[in-house]
Amino acid sequence: MINTLNPIVDYLKVFDCVDECITYINSITTETKILFIVSGQLGESVIIQIYDSSKIISIYVFCYDKMKHETWSIQYKPKLQGVFNDKDELYAK
């Protein structure tokens, strides 16, 4: 997934730790705009912490169980652009 996204975006940062990700987003002082892709497993716990940030312009959830994650994620529209279980469908967005 990372190799496919690198040519599409100007800068790609990957996190394994939720706390590091949140800290990084909160530390950005420039007018950087973030397109945020999160796993279904971590989605709800992370999105609630970042949703109100003006730096986050779009959120995408990538998961295996699309129906499960569409249920909780609907409350995060309009920033949440969708829940995807197909990489090609996500890349097309």
CA distances from 19 to 34, 79, 85 (A): 17, 21, 25
pTM comes to 0.85
HEC-encoded secondary structure of 5-69: HCCCCCCCCCCCCHHHHHHHHHHCCCCCCEEEEEEHHHHHHHHHHHCCCCCEEEEEEECCCHHHH
Q: How confident is the model at residue 5 (pLDDT cuts 50, 70, 90)?
A: very low
All structural domains of the chain with their residue ranges = 2-22+32-92
Q: Is the pLDDT of residue 24 over 60?
A: yes
| Across 16-26, average pLDDT | 92
Residue 46 token pair: 């992370």
> What tens digit of pLDDT does each residue of 43-72 get?
999 999 999 999 999 999 999 999 999 999
Quick check: 65 and 40 in contact, CB under 8 A? Answer: yes
